[in-house]
Amino acid sequence: MTDLSTALQRSLDGRWAAIRDETRKELNPERFAPPSGWLSLEDYRARIADQVQGIAETGHAARGFPVEMGGNGDLGGSVTAFEMLGHADLSLMVKAGVHWGLFGGAVANLGTKRHHAAYLPSIIDASLPGCFAMTETGHGSDVQSLGTTATYDPATDELVVHTPDLRSRKDYIGGAARDGRMAAVFAQLVTGGESHGVHCVLVPIRDDAGAAMPGVTIGDCGPKAGLAGVDNGRLSFDHVRVPRTNLLNRYGDIDEQGRYTSPIENQTRRFFTMLGTLVRGRISVAGGAGAATRTALTLAITYAGHRRQFAPPGASDEVLLLDYRTHQRKLLPALAKSYALQFAQNELVALMHDVQVSGEEVEEHQQRELEARAAGIKAVATAHATATIQTCREACGGAGYLAVNRLPALKADTDVFTTFEGDNTVLLQLVAKGLLTDYRDSFGDLDTLGMVRFGARQFAGAVIERTAARGLVHRLIESTPGRDSEKGPLDRGWQLDLFEDRERHLLETVALRLRKAGKPDADLFAVFNDAQDHVVAAARAHVDRTILESFVTGIETCTDPAARELLERVCDLYALHTIEADKGWFLEHGRITPARSKQVTATVNDLCAALRPHAQDLVDAFGIPQAWLASELLDPIETTR
Amino acid sequence: MTDLSTALQRSLDGRWAAIRDETRKELNPERFAPPSGWLSLEDYRARIADQVQGIAETGHAARGFPVEMGGNGDLGGSVTAFEMLGHADLSLMVKAGVHWGLFGGAVANLGTKRHHAAYLPSIIDASLPGCFAMTETGHGSDVQSLGTTATYDPATDELVVHTPDLRSRKDYIGGAARDGRMAAVFAQLVTGGESHGVHCVLVPIRDDAGAAMPGVTIGDCGPKAGLAGVDNGRLSFDHVRVPRTNLLNRYGDIDEQGRYTSPIENQTRRFFTMLGTLVRGRISVAGGAGAATRTALTLAITYAGHRRQFAPPGASDEVLLLDYRTHQRKLLPALAKSYALQFAQNELVALMHDVQVSGEEVEEHQQRELEARAAGIKAVATAHATATIQTCREACGGAGYLAVNRLPALKADTDVFTTFEGDNTVLLQLVAKGLLTDYRDSFGDLDTLGMVRFGARQFAGAVIERTAARGLVHRLIESTPGRDSEKGPLDRGWQLDLFEDRERHLLETVALRLRKAGKPDADLFAVFNDAQDHVVAAARAHVDRTILESFVTGIETCTDPAARELLERVCDLYALHTIEADKGWFLEHGRITPARSKQVTATVNDLCAALRPHAQDLVDAFGIPQAWLASELLDPIETTR
């Protein structure tokens, strides 16, 4: 590590830098690194189950639970430690995330004291391996329409959990196929013939000997594209009875007289409030995607820095791959975006931590902002992972295709990140919905399609809200006098203004289109569907803008002058490459002239060339221990093979 | 199959429709389908080796060799049959391609009668499993710089094959790790201390018992991202001696007096002539990529046609995924491009067949056109496969991540197609080089970088040449009177003109930039490198244009009015989506107005909606037997699970 990369790392590591350093030291690659050979599915699952026990022994797991529940209440630290697991085996990361984050998170956030006392100790020490049984074969994105039922039987004071049809079978459930003993089952809660919407019930699925409990049918999803160490399975329930008190009853309870009560009257609002408490899963996936992407970039950029191919006429030395413009174009804008996303992720984790550990009652506005940010960053970070890891594989040629060089597993394991914890296309629509509605006043029966009529009624013009921390952004936009044409493409204010302007225009025009739904005879689905790609584009523009703002404010934390100067250039590359990628839109809408558009492309090329000598520093600053990277790609062949 | 899809299939199947039907019937899925369970590397390799023997028994293999060599001379049929293997297990396709196409192709095309007589019978019946040992650890793209040497020893009349260093080790060689008995080894041929450039020598690598031959060190590349059934390995030679006559001597020979002779004096020209005879490999990879992509699209579109999610407000039925605009946008333009590529591939295979079986001496111009077309289609078809199979996986959500649903293997197995048989970025530069030079007059020491000074000297303005078959294209461009603004985006002449115009402009401007290299003090590498992304864009524009022209002429073969009408709409979608994807360029260069640009986007949306009711017909027309598709994605869950 050079001084420069150390200084860069300090900025990237952010508020929970100490946790990052701790995991860098504690997680022994000899125990937690991905396997080097070909393992059978069973061997891989057994290996990961053992590694989860190893993680439990480190004590890290307690960090994710509040002090009053026996944890140590460092939620931001917990999510950061999880992110660092993304440098290890991603099967381990996901398996740990399912057990502590999803299963443990459901018990902690949806349960009450009786559940915390009964289960959290054995969840924290991993002696009660758990599953998060939400998704069904027939319903993944539309969780509100789950088919599993939990019906209260007053005769026995029990809940009867039942799978009415194949579409309602729980599917893709991590931990179900091999290790899970208890599942947090999401089901339509029914009392006295009345449904109260989706709630969560704890259901034992295996006995101590590992056999399926009576009435529980367990299936195995079998081999997958990746994450071979995660035992995804299927659960069906045939009138399985559990005590009434197994209902996680923070937001909806059944009293001893069998009456249903809830602090939140509106069913849809109650449902989204319950889901909202589970936001940490999405944030964690975004973090894990970021770590995996940084691993891939470190491998591909290091390789391109020593791998040579083709000698120019008259020269004796062949050219380094990273000196070719096409190669710089493949890797360096992706690197810049990984920097941007790291700052955005750090800000998101801090927001989550401050909202969730505040102790006071969380303001709904803050909670909704957190959810929208989490959905947006998750969608963009996981799409970036899929695209970038693919590019890194190709940039390493045949070597990138060998398992020993890690890129195949990074690709295969992260592939499902764009799907789980919310399909990206659905998540971006969720972001847009948040932007188009004033949810504080009208958080009623508003589903993804209902937003149409709603949007048409309520929408009064898009307002770009900047948080208090964004004073800097405001100043940058206002600081440069002169017309746009006089500001160069490296003017940060011009870049920020362009990002904001695109977002505002897309939001305002999508709102205009949705107004059509206000007509009495409107075909709501047709109106919504015609605008769907527009809605998604608006959300993406919003997320792009918040990421750029996070980068700009993140640079402020860097006190080393050389590192700061470099970060400014990386930020330029992120901003201009994002503009270039959507230059069709900016030109179509007269936001940039053809001359400026060509200038942006030329400047992206110049920035790639300017950053190329610092490329190794920039990836070293990710701070991935060499032992985690064990790969033939790292050193020139003469010295290693 | 509806009548419509049958009529569509007739057009898509093309000239070798009979071969396609034969493989549809003959290749028994029970024997050749991908494995359903988790196989160890060794079990998978053994399974594929056995399947290769099964293919040999069908007699298909003889098709790829000329009659005078014991084959039946149906080269186009051979490549088409290989493409159809892309619907089976891709490990089988690649393993078969390495043995018959690459190893067999080297013996047939680079060898002479003595090699044909000695080896082709046992190559055709697969009793002599072979390897194609070209790529080295240190050189993949730059084959001309291989380090392996084959030095003639007059004392014993032998060639001494040697690996001087680790960079010169043969790497990623299919068949090397387990099954190969003989390798076609590419090496620098040296006689009397003088090097004659890269030639190919047959080297036995294993004895009949399967043990490595003396002096041959065999390594195993181990697990890979995909293609687990292909035993890729590494070969090193320690002064391994083979008879002089093992030199494949069609383009360079050593006589009994130890003198080197060649019909082609110039070493670089000789090298490219030898490589040119092996063009079938690239064409085959493009075909296999196409088949895999069509499989993925068939699965994802069929699934989206019965899978529902979210009910609109007030409606009881949930919406089919394929009715959502964002979902149409993901799948239907990709489907249109697969149609376009199928027509382009059919034309390419026919061109290859006619050039290679003509019997007469091939005109160099024809040969170079064939090579450029093969390189361009390979690059575009494999990039399309990587992007589209990824999209299909995501479009099927969690189900798309399960191995049982085939998409994971399609993704992982095809991932390396963008790399092998030529890295796509390198191939596109090869295409551009062909467009920028008049190779007939000046095919000298012209390597990828040398083109810079060369281009500056020779280039006189880009000429878009259309072949004779392109009279239709010319008529379409000329047929519509009026200014561009008066022609709608569905005007075929307007679309074709736009594709041509972009290609011409990019070629002319790149040539202008490269002229700088003509200055005496020019830094050749810097001039070339600054223009590299421009060079690649020019090549892509060229390939896009030829693909569109292939589609337009391909439609002419369709005599069914309804199918023809549908093909015209699919062609519109391909053309307009390609324009939309590069709208930034067209706007930047004043080729379209902002209003027209928005109109193009709106028309793409309209075309997606118009094609949606025919989506199932369009994928059924790919003619993939249901048994090959065995997947839970094909039918609604109620009826299958």
pLDDT tens string A33-54: 888 778 899 999 999 999 999 9
| Alpha carbon distance B470, B229 (integer Å) | 43
Nearest to B584 among A224, A450, A587 (CB): A587
- DSSP single-letter state for residue B469: G
A640: pLDDT strictly greater than 50? no
B340 has a pLDDT exceeding 50: yes
Inter-chain touch A319–B525, beta carbons under 8 Å: yes
Alpha carbon of A38: minimum distance to chain B alpha carbons (Å): 7
Nearest-Cα distance to chain B for A172, in Å, is 7
Q: What is the CA radius of gyration of chain B?
A: 25
Whether the CB of B454 is below 8 Å from some CB of chain A: the reply is: no
The beta-carbon neighbor of A584 closest among B38, B403, B584 is B584
Query: What is the mean predicted confidence (pLDDT) over B86-113?
Result: 96
Q: What is the mean pLDDT of residues B576-593?
A: 97
Return the pLDDT at B482: 64
- For the segment B243-253, the average pLDDT, to the nearest whole number, is 98
> Given CB atoms, is B610 within the 8 Å cutoff of chain A?
no
Q: Can you tell me the distance from the alpha carbon of B554 to that of B346, in angstroms, rounded to the nearest whole number?
A: 9
**pLDDT tens for each residue of A341-361:** 999 999 999 999 999 887 667
Residue A176 · residue A184 · CB < 8 Å? no
Q: What is the pLDDT of residue A464?
A: 55
Which one of B139, B224, B450 has the shortest CB-CB distance to A403?
B224
Report the alpha-carbon distance of residue A321 to residue B348 in Å, rounded. Answer: 32
Residue A37 to residue B319, Cβ atoms within 8 A? no
pLDDT at B447: 46
Give the pair of three-digit tokens for residue B461. Answer: 């303005």
Question: For residue A621, what are its two tokens?
Answer: 């600053």
**pLDDT the model gives residue B154:** 97
- The owner of tokens 């201009």 is A576
Q: Which two tokens stand for residue B24?
A: 């549809």
**Does the beta carbon of A512 lie under 8 angstroms from any beta carbon of chain B?**
no
Nearest to A549 by CA among A289, A347, A332, A388: A347
**Which residue in B34, B104, B111, B24 sits closest to B64, CA to CA?**
B104
Nearest residue to A467 via CA among A350, A342, A579: A350
Cα(B346)–Cα(B352) distance, integer angstroms: 10
Counting one residue from chain A and one from chain B, the pairs whose CB atoms sit within 8 A come to 242
- Which of 75-134 (B) contact A at CB < 8 A? none
Residues of chain A in contact with residue B91, where contact means CB-CB under 8 angstroms, are: none
Instruction: Name which of B38, B390, B525 is nearest A312 (Cβ-Cβ).
Output: B525
B18 contact A CB<8A: no
Tell me if A588 and B598 make a contact (CB, 8 A cut-off): yes
Beta-carbon separation of A420 and B400 below 8 A: no
- Which tokens in the block code for residue A495? 């870049």
A38–B41: do the CB atoms touch at under 8 Å?
Answer: yes
Percentage of residues in chain A with pLDDT exceeding 70?
Answer: 93
Q: Give yes or no for a contact between B110 and B200, defined as CB atoms under 8 angstroms apart.
A: yes
A70/A63 Cα distance (integer angstroms): 9
Q: Taking all residues of chain B, what is their mean pLDDT, rounded to a whole number?
A: 91
Given a cut of 50, whether residue B640 has pLDDT beyond it is: no
**Dist. CA B453–CA B522, nearest whole Å:** 9
The answer to whether B359 contacts chain A (CB < 8 Å) is no
The tokens for A500 are 């904001």
Q: At A421, give phi and psi (nearest 5°).
A: 55, 30
DSSP A308: B
Mean pLDDT value across residues B336-358: 95
Residue of A nearest to B446 (CA): A313
Give the whole-angstrom CA distance, residue A244 versus residue A288.
Answer: 36
pLDDT tens string A162-202: 999 999 999 999 999 999 999 999 999 999 999 999 999 99
Calculate mean pLDDT across residues A534-539.
96
Q: Which of A241-245, A561-565, B526-530 has the lowest average pLDDT?
A: B526-530
Which residue among A142, A223, A312 sits closest to B449, beta carbon to beta carbon?
A312
Assess A362–B contact: CB distance below 8 Å, yes or no. Answer: no
Phi-psi category of A626—alpha, beta or left, where left has phi over 0 and alpha has psi -120 to 50? Answer: alpha
- Which residue bears the tokens 């200038």? A599
pLDDT of B457 strictly over 80? no
pLDDT of B469 > 90? The answer is no
Helix (H) or strand (E) holding B130: strand B130-133
Better-scored residue on pLDDT, B432 or A188: A188
CA distance B255 to A260: 97
Task: Return the ∠ at Cα A480 (arms to A477 and A484), rounded to 5°.
Answer: 85
**B40 and A37 in contact by Cβ < 8 A?**
no
- A221/B419 touch (CB, cutoff 8 Å), yes or no: no
Interface membership of A532 toward B (CB under 8 Å): yes
Q: Are the C-beta atoms of B54 and B31 separated by less than 8 Å?
A: yes
Contacts of A10 by beta carbon, 8 Å cutoff, 6+ apart: A17, A558, A560, A563
Non-local (6+) Cβ contacts of A199 within 8 A are A150, A186, A187, A188, A189, A247, A248, A251, A252, A274
Q: Which residues of B touch A226 (CB under 8 A)?
A: 401, 408
Q: What is the DSSP letter of A491?
A: -
Q: What are phi and psi of B126, to 5 degrees?
A: 65, 20
With an 8 Å Cβ cutoff, is B383 touching chain A?
Answer: no
Nearest CB neighbour to B38, from listed A40, A225, A324: A40
Integer Cα distance of B282 and B379 in angstroms: 9
Residue A482 DSSP symbol: S
Whole-angstrom distance, CA of residue A234 vs CA of residue A220? 6
Using pLDDT thresholds of 50, 70 and 90, give the confidence band for residue A539.
Answer: very high
In this structure, the strands spanning A149-153 and A182-191 are parallel
Digit-coded pLDDT (tens) for A197-231: 999 999 999 999 999 999 999 999 999 999 999 99
Which amino acid makes up residue A388? T
Least confident of A135-149, B371-385, B480-494, B611-625: B480-494
* B514 lies within 8 A of chain A by CB: no
Using only C-alpha atoms, chain A has a radius of gyration, in whole angstroms, of 25
The minimum CA-CA distance between B8 and chain A, rounded to whole Å, is 29
CA distance A132 to A119: 15
A478 pairs with which residues across the strands?
Answer: none
CA angle B252, B257, B263 (to 5 degrees): 25
Between CA A574 and CA A567 the distance in angstroms is: 10
Whether residue B613 lies within 8 A of chain A, CB to CB, comes out as no
Q: Which residues of B touch A415 (CB under 8 A)?
A: 390, 393, 401, 408, 411
Check if the interface score ipTM surpasses 0.90. Answer: yes
Q: Return d(Cα A613, Cα A322) in angstroms, integer.
A: 9
The helix (run of H) or strand (run of E) holding residue A160 is strand A158-162
**Angle of the B325-356 helix axis to the A532-555 helix axis, nearest 10:** 90
* Percent of chain B whose predicted confidence (pLDDT) is above 70: 93
CA A152, CA B153: separation in Å to the nearest integer?
Answer: 90
Choose from B525, B540, B633 for mutation: most chain A CBs within 10 A. B525
Helix (H) or strand (E) holding B343, with range, is: helix B325-356
Rounded CA separation A554/A541 (Å): 20
The chain B residue lying nearest A596, using CA atoms, is B588
Is residue B452 over pLDDT 60? no
Nearest residue, CB atoms, B313 vs list A313, A425, A449: A449
**CB contact at 8 A, A548 and A574:** yes
Asked if the Cβ–Cβ distance from A637 to B309 is below 8 Å, we say no
Burial class from Cβ neighbours inside 10 Å (0-12, 13-18, 19+) for residue A640 reads exposed
Q: What pLDDT score does B353 carry?
A: 95
Q: Of B282, B386, B297, whose CA–CA distance to B339 is shortest?
A: B297
Helix (H, G, I), strand (E, B) or coil at A196: strand
| A641 confidence band (pLDDT: 50, 70, 90) | very low
Q: Which of B432, B583, B582, B594 is nearest to B514 (CA)?
A: B432
Are the Cβ atoms of A225 and B407 closer than 8 angstroms?
yes
Cross-chain residue pair A37–B222, CB shorter than 8 Å: yes
Q: Strand runs (DSSP E) across A154-193, as ranges? A: 158-162, 170-173, 182-191
pLDDT of A485 reads 65
Structure tokens at A128: 């009660």
Does the beta-carbon distance from B401 to A386 stay under 8 Å?
no
Looking at chain A from residue 212 to 271, which residues have their Cβ under 8 Å from any Cβ of chain B?
221-226
| Cα angle value A272/A278/A283 (rounded, 5°) | 120
Instruction: Tell me: pLDDT of B51 over 50.
Output: yes
pLDDT tens digits for range B364-421: 788 888 999 999 999 999 999 999 999 999 999 999 999 999 999 999 999 999 999 9
User: Quick check: B589 and A588 CB within 8 A?
Assistant: no
Tokens, residue A489: 């493409």
B452-469 mean pLDDT: 47
**Does the distance separating the beta carbons of B394 and A418 come in below 8 Å?**
yes
**Residue A159 φ/ψ, nearest 5 degrees:** -105, 135
Name which of A433-442, A607-616, A629-638, B178-187 the model is least confident about.
Answer: A433-442
Residue contact B310–A141, C-beta within 8 A: yes
Of B36, B28, B33, residue with least CA distance to B57: B28
Q: What is the dihedral of CA A167, B635, A423, A177, to 10 degrees?
A: 60
CB A203 within 8 A of CB A182: yes
Alpha-carbon distance B223 to nearest alpha carbon in chain A (angstroms): 5
- Give the model's confidence band at A604: pLDDT under 50 very low, under 70 low, under 90 confident, else very high: very high
Query: How sure is the predictor about B144, in pLDDT bands with cuts at 50, 70 and 90?
Result: very high
Secondary structure class of B316 (helix, strand, coil): coil
Three state DSSP letters for A355-380:
HHCCCCCCCHHHHHHHHHHHHHHHHH
Nearest CA-CA distance, residue A329 and chain B, Å: 8
Measured torsion, CA atoms of residues B136, B141, B144, B150, in degrees rounded to the nearest 10: 10
Phi, psi of A531 (to 5 degrees): -100, 5
Q: What is the mean pLDDT of residues B145-160?
A: 97
Whether A584 sits inside 8 A of B589 (CB atoms) is no
> Does residue A136 surpass a pLDDT of 90?
yes
Residue B180 CB contacts under 8 Å (≥ 6 apart), including other chains: B129, B130, B131, B173, B205, B206, B231, B233
Decide which of B438 and B340 is more confident.
Answer: B340
CB proximity B487 to A under 8 Å: no
For B445, the closest chain A residue by CA position comes to: A313
Is the pLDDT reported for residue A424 higher than 70? yes
B423 in contact with chain A, both atoms CB, cutoff 8 A: yes
Nearest to B411 among A225, A587, A637 (CB): A225
Asked if A634 is an interface residue toward chain B (Cβ–Cβ < 8 A), one would say: no
Rounded mean pLDDT, B6-10: 97
Cβ burial of B112 (10 Å; 0-12, 13-18, 19+) is middle
How crowded is residue A374: how many other Cβ atoms within 10 Å of its Cβ?
28
Q: What backbone torsions phi and psi does residue B426 show, to the nearest 5 degrees? A: -70, -40
- Flag if A637 and B166 touch (Cβ within 8 Å): yes
Mean pLDDT within A494-511: 93
Taking the C-alpha atoms of residue A366 and residue B533, their distance in angstroms, rounded to an integer, is 45
